[in-house]
Structure formats: structure tokens, C-alpha cells
Structure 1
Amino acid sequence: MELWKINLLNYKNLSYFFFIGCFVVGALTASSYSWAASADKNKLPQIGTSGFSVLSVDKERLIGTAMMQQIRARGGIINDPVLIEYINHLGNSLVKNANDVNYSFEFFIVNNQELNAFAFFGGHIGIHSGLITTADTESELASVIAHEISHVTQRHLARRIEAQSRTQPLTLAGIVSGVLLTMINPAVGMAALSTSMAASQQFGINYTRGNEKEADRVGITLLAHSGFDPLGAPNFFNKMLEKYRYTSKPPAMLLTHPLPESRVSEARIRAQNFPKISVAPKLDFELAKARIKARYEGDPEYNINHFSSAISKGQYAFLAAARYGLALSYFEDKAYDKALAILNDLLQEDANNLFYIDALSDVLIALKQFKQAEKMLATVNWLMPNNQVAALNYANVLLEMGNLDASAQVLQDFLLVSPDSFIAYDLLTTVYRKQDKKALMHVSKAQVMALVGAYTQAIDELQTAMTYADDLPIISKRIKGRILQLQDQQEKLKRLN
């Protein structure tokens, strides 16, 4: 489904985000300053357990949620159910083998061709799309994700803030704001971090290198224990070094994750200590790469030539992935019949592949073949109830057909198990608007705003919904309850200070 192109509301200019950003930074600064005044400044951090003096796990969750809301509001996240499903399946296959997991992790992809990945409070991990397309194997991609998971489980950001607060408590605001900047623009963010730590810059650099070594150690162990090739880590490190050895501008990941050659050697030695693991190429990994290239990189004409050439030269580990990329490129070029022929053939080979089903749904909608799309997706949604690819595509096709009640029911059922789905609420807002259900439309719109942290505006939407719910007592009670929930979330943020 073309939900990655969905016309979402623009929340970038809401003043609330400035408040949240300043408030989170201010709350961290105030709490750490009072703590640091009485701390033993000569006390060294304990590996893997420190950081709790400045930030509890509960505070990390709250701050992580607020930061994630800011990132959503800025835009740039790929809201693509197929890729969301893939990256979270891969990430959670690693998390289930990790130690010291205090959160349910959320993995997301940033539409950026730079090589970068980052982790922050509360188990949030972002991967730039360029990193996925650059990796040659799923083990290489998994090695980066395992590294970022290790930063989270070892609480490196909290420990960094705690260590810095012992010498310069008032620079904490600069550190946190620098972290936020680094996620969006690594070069600017690292400059902000460097400025904020001017008086103890070498200490900060050394501490970062210590964190990186620990994340390498824990990450490679996690990689091996999860059934991936542990050599994926040094192989990807070496690839980055070779690619950028003679360039003046290193990739974003080398700015945020320093990579001296000694670190590559140490990673290779560590990986070789594990039994050799032979991992077969993964079709889903190749399909994800093809999807990113076809939909987020280059133009349709270039991509058609690229995938056609790859097919003729046998350059893909799976011919099916190149054909899939070609079908998506034809779709982008509005050559729907050519895309349809390829996708029908692919589905004959793999009937329940969600990559193919999603793409075929787009093609059938473009060709106005709604009945065929509805029949296919009804079956898939029955086989995989509340799977986000199946449910959201099915709801979208029902919406296109004008079957609004059925579309709303599918989305409501899906939101019971996935209450933070930005796409589902946005679709539901459209459904309610077409049904002229004003109260429910404003409620759904409020949920979208809440997911980007605009609590004040979300409450305003709910209060507007109340004016249309006078003769709907049950809905009215639910609206009042939701207002109280959002007010409580605001209060929890305030209590951080």
C-alpha cells in the first residue's frame, strides 16, 4: 500500500515541540545539577549499571517517548508498513536474546541515504535507509542493530550524562540537545556536543570510545547468540573504512561512532572467537533493499534501467528481489500493466509474501480493480489477523471501494493491538470524515496529534469532539477519559523537573 506517501497532517510548526524540547532538557539539567552538587566527583562509573543516579528507567521511558514524538513531527521517518514490519522483526529477533532489556524496543527507518544508525532513551533505534541498502548481507545489517541495542541495554546515554555531570553539570542541556540534533543532522549534532563539552573534551571522547568498545563486545556476542554471522560486524566496519578512506567527508555513522582501525581489528578477533556460523542469504532482506531503492532512491526511469540490468547480469542474490524492484519501479512510472504481470508471477511462487501482496494491492487500486484486491486482502487478513501490512492494506482497499463501515471495523480491531499506529489513526480520520462522524473524526485526529507530542492540540481536538457527542453518552465518556489520560501524560513530564 502507498501508505508511505499518505498525506499526513503537518505538525512541524506546533509551538509545543519547542516547549517539550526545552522542558526535557531543562528537567534533565535541573535533576542532574542538584545530584552532582553532592556527588563524589572522583567516583568512576560502573560498567553496565550506572546512570541511575541521573535518570531512572521510568524517566528514560518518558524522555524517550517525548524525543520520539519530536522525531515523528519533524518528518523523515519512512511510514511504510512493509519496511516497519521487516525492521522490527529483525530487531526483535536480536532483542529476545539480549540481557538487561528494560523496554519494549521500537525500530524505525529514516529516509536518508547517509550511513547512520542511532539509539536513544527508552529503547528507540533509528536506522538510515542508506545503511540498509549498503549492507551486503543481513548479518551486516543485524550487526549494526545489535550494536545499537547494546548501547540501550548498557544505558550508555544515561551513563554519558552522569559522567559529564560530575565535571560540568550545567552543560547537560547542551549534551541532550546535541543528541537530538545528531539524530537529524550528525555533523551539526556532533559540533553541538563538542562545543558543550569544551572544558572536558578529551574525557568525553575517551568515554565515547569506551562505550563503543563495550557496545562492540556486547553486540557481537548478541549477534552470534541470535544466529547471525558474528563476522558481519567487522566486515561492515571494514567496508565503511575502505569506502571512505580517502574522502574528506566521512559518513554520519563515523562521526557518531568513531571507528579507528584498531577497533576493526578487535572486532574481527572477537568475532573469530565464536564458532563459525553459515547464514544463508535472506530473501526478505533483499526485498527490503529493493523496495528502498525503488521507492526512496533515484527516479523511476533510472530504477527501471538498474533493475533490468541487474536481472540480465544476475547481480542479485535472489532474482525475485530484482524482479520485485523492477515491478515497483514500473508502478512508480505508472506502467501498471507491466508491474501487474511481474507481481502475479511472483505471487505464484510465494503466495503469502507480504512484500508482493502490498505492491499488488497498490497496482490493483491504481487499475481500479477493487474487487480483486479486496478478495486477496480479505484472505490475507484472515490468515494473518492484525498484521499491519494485511490490516492496513485491507482497510485502505475497503476505503477506496466506499465500504466505510468495514474499513472502520478493520482499523478499530487493529488499533486494539497496535494503539500507536500513526498510519491507522490517519486512515481512520479519513474514514470518519467520509462518514460524517464528526465526533469520532476529531477523536481520531487527536490521537494522531498525541503521537507527535502535541498534547495541548490533541486535548483541543477532543474538546471539539465533545460538542458533537451530546447524544452519544458512551463516546462522550470515552472522550473525557482520554482527555484525563493526556493531561496525566503532561503531568508526568512536568514531574520530571
Structure 2
Amino acid sequence: MRFHIAFLTSLIYCLTASVASAQVLNNKNSLPEIGVVAANTLSLDEEVAIGNIFYSQLRGQAGVLQDPVVNQYIQSLGNEMVIHAQNTKFPFTFFVINNSAINAMAFYGGHVGIHTGLVYHADTEAELAAVIGHEIAHVTQRHIVRKKQAMEKTSPLQVASMIGGALLMMASPQAGLASIYAGQAGMIQNAINHTRTHEREADRIGMKILAEAGFDPFAAASFFSKMLEQSRWGSIPPAFLLTHPLSQERVAEARNRAENLPSQNRPSSMMFHLVKARIHARYMYSAQASLAYFTNASIAKDWPDYAWQYGLALAYMGVEKYAEAQRILEQLLLTAPENFAYLDAMTDTYIGLSQVPKAIQLLAPINQKIPNNPVITLNLANSYIENKEWDKATELLKDFLMVHNKSLLGFSLISDAYARSQSRLNMHQNKAEMYALMAIYPKAIDELQFAYNFAESYLLKQRIRARITQFRESQERMQKLAGS
């Protein structure tokens, strides 16, 4: 699956331009007027709709990470970068893919995905921010839409083969690859010139965003140089180089641009180090390997002390040594009693120790102070479920989902709470919404049909019928947009 995710990114961001290569070779340095070209190809509403489809399918079939601590950090950092971008036409969604490859992606409608491997390998927050700024620039310049416009100058069958293959691969990787290769054999190399033009534009705009956000603009060149160095020592280049073609010339250009941008010295934040430790401890290695790493005293010097201690606590939790984790986390919480990463870990530790009331006592006051925060509310709801206080869990989650109506974890938890309390109607309705968020409409419709059997009032039955109709219309719209 990791290979297919990286290949899909490459397809979306590289191969779809191949049929336009002849026009690009004639004038490599010209850039079309963004508004005119994009508007003639896809409206903003259509772009957002297609982006939502891609994102839903990624959530349903790829390793999109459901980790509220990591997600909250990446969304926060991304939002901070977007403030300094121009041509932002829609809200951005930043998400994380649980994949060890060093890679990132951007696609229709303000969707930016970051791989866990990229965070793991970023030496500083500025390097991570440099990649995010680069991907934001791809979105604001509507590069995907401009490529689509170029594609429409050639055979509709070739266009259908590429886009259809991409979507098919999301559902069935082997079939999707066969479709792509059938339609794209011999055309991949021709896409590179067009892609390089967009990459340079994203470099220029992304570095400006990076500097205006207060980060060191040289971090972009540092990250690019690191990728090139890795490619020299391995037979397979890092995924980032496959989806973002890179050369020594481009690294030099990045350094030259940095010379002309304001010099910044913003240090890496505490949450950057904590999230990096979390990814290292939970997602990159086995539980035993993570514990061996964080119990090796010689590596402590490579981390800020709090991040190393946090990683060690998570590693203990991974092998169910909750008492050891508790001792570490209690000390960390004394220094930062409302730190989301610490609170999340302590909650899981209390649950592991069968001390769930302590988790509720820890989180409830903070939830009152900061209502509907994903880390706090979801942990508190989970604690209520573990404590068999299902009514409290469902009430908490109903309020949360009114604000965060696209939270898969939220719908999963409320479905679980309703299931445990034997509320079959509500369980099936919320499972339906969860499947709909992943664009798995047949299963969503099945869940609503189960819910219909438990509905007693005529009005509720009508509402369920109406929602089934909406899901069917969404499925038809998805199929139509997938071919646009």
C-alpha cells in the first residue's frame, strides 16, 4: 500500500500533465494566467468537490492517520502558513498519512497531505514548514487545474485513462496500475518539463510564505539538499524526489532565493519535538524497537529532554508498561499541565492501568475550559465509554460533531458508545455518517437501511429515507466528477 500511495501522488502531480508536454516544450518558461486558465477548466466549487472526493477516498482506502495530537499540530502549523499565502480561495485541510516515505502531496480544493516519514526526517520545524509552504503554493497556483486544462487539448481517451486509472487505483491498486500503464506507457518522461516549471514556481512562492511565517528561508535548500544526498546512497530515490523532480541546480536556486529573503531564526516549537517523538515511538518501528531506542541513554542528547522523556513514556505504553509511563508523564505534566500531548498519553496510561476515573478527573476541567478541542474531547469521550458512562459520552460527542462534522474518530467513538448502550438506531445512523466520510456510500446506505428497521416514528423513517437519497445522489455526483 505504501508504494501505491506514493505512486498515486506522483500520478496526480506528475503524469496528468504528460499530454501537454509538446506545448510546454515550445515555451518552458511561460506561466498561464491562473484565474483565466483555471476558471475555463474547473470552477472553484468543482475543484473543492473533486478535492473532497479524493480526500474521502484516501481516508477510506489509505493510511490517513487518525491521531488527534499529530493532526492538530499539522493543521495548526499549516493554518499558520496559509495566513501568509495569497490567492487562497478556500479553507485548507492538512492531514497526515501513516507512511514512512519522505513525501508530501497537494491536490484539488486545498488538501495537503504530509507523510509521517517526512516529519520523522525533518531536523527542524523550519524544514517541515518549508515543505508545507511548497505544497500550499501548488494549491494557490492551482497547478493541478492548470495541468487538467492542458490535458484537455489532447485525446479525451487519454485523459480518461489517466484520471480513471488514478481513481480506480484508490479502490483497487492492482487494477488501477494496469489501467495507468495501459494509458500512459512511454509518456511519463514527457511530463517532467511541465512539472519542473510548476515546481520552481512552488519553490519561489513557498519560500516567501516560509520567510513571512518567521522561519529560516534556507531551510528549503537544506531539505532539498538532504533529499539529493539520500538519493546518491540508495538505489531507490526518496519518494519526494519521484513526486517533486529535483536537481542540484534547483537547490542552488533555492539558496539564491533565500539570500534575498529576510533572515529569520525562529526556533523549532515544543510541539514539533513532541510530535516527532510521538511519530518515532508509535509509527516508525515496532513497540520493542521503539523501547530499545528510547531506553538507550546515549541518544538522549539528540532530543530536548522533555521530548525524549515523552518518547520514552510512549515506548513504555507500547509494551504495556503503564506504571513506568505514568511516572514519567506525571513529571512532565507538572511542567506543562495543559499540554495536549501529555494529556493524551496520560489518559491512555490511566485506561491501561484501569484507573479510568482519574482520566476523567484530569480531562473534565480542561474540557470545560476548552470545549470541543479534538484531543481533549475525544480522549474524555473515550474515557466515559471505558467507564461505561455512555450517555455522557454520546452527549459530549454530539456537541463535538456539530463543530467537527468530518471527524472520523468522533463518529467511530459515538457509534461505539451507542453500540455498548444497545442503542441500535443511533449506532447505525452514526456508522452511516462515518462510511459517508470515506465515500463508501454502499455501506453507508446499508447502515441507514438497518437503522430504518429500528425507527418507530413516521417522521424519523422519512428522515432516514431522505438521507439515503442524499447518499445515492452523492455517489452519483462522485462518479460524475471523477470523470470530469
| TM interval, short-chain normalised | 0.7 to 0.9
1:165, 1:52 → 2: CA distance? 14
Q: Residue 4 of structure 2 corresponds to which residue in structure 1?
A: none
Matched ranges for 1:168-317 at <5 A = 168-177=155-164, 196=183, 203-309=190-296, 313-316=300-303
Q: Residue 114 of structure 1 corresponds to which residue in structure 2?
A: 101
Q: 1:353 to 1:495 in 2, by over 3 A?
A: same
Correspondence 1:340 to 2:331 = no
1:493, 1:201 → 2: CA distance? 27
Deviates more, 1:425-434 or 1:299-308: 299-308
1:455, 1:442 → 2: CA distance? 14
Correspondence 1:399 to 2:347 = no
1:191, 1:139 → 2: CA distance? 39
1:311, 1:395 → 2: CA distance? 39
Correspondence 1:428 to 2:414 = yes
Q: Identity, % of aligned pairs?
A: 42
Three-state SS of the structure 1 residue aligned to 2:63 is coil
1:198, 1:484 → 2: CA distance? 41
Counterpart among 482, 486, 489 of residue 474 in structure 2: 489
Three-state SS of the structure 1 residue aligned to 2:295 is helix
Amino acid at match of 2:59: R
Amino acid at match of 2:464: I
Matched ranges for 1:342-381 at <5 A = 342-381=328-367
1:41-71 deviation digits (Å, cap 9, x = unpaired): x997614332332322222222111211221
The alpha carbon displacement at 1:230 in A equals: 1.3
1:307-329 deviation digits (Å, cap 9, x = unpaired): 2335665211x210000000000
1:392, 1:115 → 2: CA distance? 29
1:72-103 deviation digits (Å, cap 9, x = unpaired): 12131211111111111111111122111122
Q: 1:490 to 1:395 in 2, by over 3 A?
A: same
Q: 1:120 to 1:384 in 2, by over 3 A?
A: same
Q: Residue 409 of structure 1 corresponds to which residue in structure 2?
A: 395
- TM-score scaled by structure 1? 0.85
Deviates more, 1:131-140 or 1:434-443: 434-443
Paired residues of 1:45 and 1:163 also in contact (CA < 8 A): no
Three-state SS of the structure 2 residue aligned to 1:118 is strand
Paired residues of 2:314 and 2:325 also in contact (CA < 8 A): yes
1:164, 1:483 → 2: CA distance? 36
1:183, 1:491 → 2: CA distance? 17
Q: Residue 8 of structure 1 corresponds to which residue in structure 2?
A: none
2:293, 2:88 → 1: CA distance? 42
Paired residues of 1:161 and 1:175 also in contact (CA < 8 A): no
1:83, 1:99 → 2: CA distance? 26
Q: 1:323 to 1:196 in 2, by over 3 A?
A: same
2:180, 2:197 → 1: CA distance? 17
Three-state SS of the structure 1 residue aligned to 2:216 is coil
1:86-124 deviation digits (Å, cap 9, x = unpaired): 111111111122111122211111111111111111211
- TM-score scaled by structure 2? 0.88
1:364, 1:177 → 2: CA distance? 48
Correspondence 1:139 to 2:126 = yes
2:157, 2:337 → 1: CA distance? 59
Q: 1:281 to 1:48 in 2, by over 3 A?
A: same
Correspondence 1:77 to 2:64 = yes
Q: RMSD across aligned C-alpha pairs, in angstroms?
A: 3.0
Matched ranges for 1:449-464 at <5 A = 449-464=435-450
Please, which runs of 5 or more residues in structure 1 have no aligned partner?
Answer: 1-20
Paired residues of 2:333 and 2:342 also in contact (CA < 8 A): yes
Amino acid at match of 2:54: M
Paired residues of 1:230 and 1:274 also in contact (CA < 8 A): yes
Deviates more, 1:120-129 or 1:475-484: 475-484
Correspondence 1:444 to 2:427 = no
1:375, 1:345 → 2: CA distance? 18
Deviates more, 1:204-213 or 1:304-313: 304-313
Three-state SS of the structure 1 residue aligned to 2:431 is helix
Please, which runs of 5 or more residues in structure 2 have no aligned partner?
Answer: 1-7
The alpha carbon displacement at 1:442 in A equals: 0.9
Q: 1:479 to 1:195 in 2, by over 3 A?
A: closer
Three-state SS of the structure 2 residue aligned to 1:245 is helix
Three-state SS of the structure 1 residue aligned to 2:94 is strand
Deviates more, 1:273-282 or 1:344-353: 273-282
Paired residues of 2:57 and 2:170 also in contact (CA < 8 A): no
The alpha carbon displacement at 1:460 in A equals: 2.9
Q: Residue 323 of structure 1 corresponds to which residue in structure 2?
A: 309
Three-state SS of the structure 1 residue aligned to 2:302 is coil
Q: Residue 143 of structure 2 corresponds to which residue in structure 1?
A: 156
2:184, 2:409 → 1: CA distance? 40
Q: How many residues align?
A: 460
The alpha carbon displacement at 1:484 in A equals: 4.0
1:94, 1:353 → 2: CA distance? 22
1:357-387 deviation digits (Å, cap 9, x = unpaired): 0000000001111111111110121121100
1:333, 1:397 → 2: CA distance? 21
2:254, 2:180 → 1: CA distance? 26
The alpha carbon displacement at 1:171 in A equals: 1.5
2:127, 2:276 → 1: CA distance? 13
Q: 1:142 to 1:402 in 2, by over 3 A?
A: same
Q: 1:311 to 1:82 in 2, by over 3 A?
A: farther
1:384-434 deviation digits (Å, cap 9, x = unpaired): 110000000000000000111000001001000000110111111111112
The alpha carbon displacement at 1:231 in A equals: 1.2
Q: 1:238 to 1:456 in 2, by over 3 A?
A: same
Matched ranges for 1:17-28 at <5 A = none
Q: 1:314 to 1:199 in 2, by over 3 A?
A: closer
Three-state SS of the structure 1 residue aligned to 2:296 is helix
Deviates more, 1:387-396 or 1:437-446: 437-446
Amino acid at match of 2:112: I
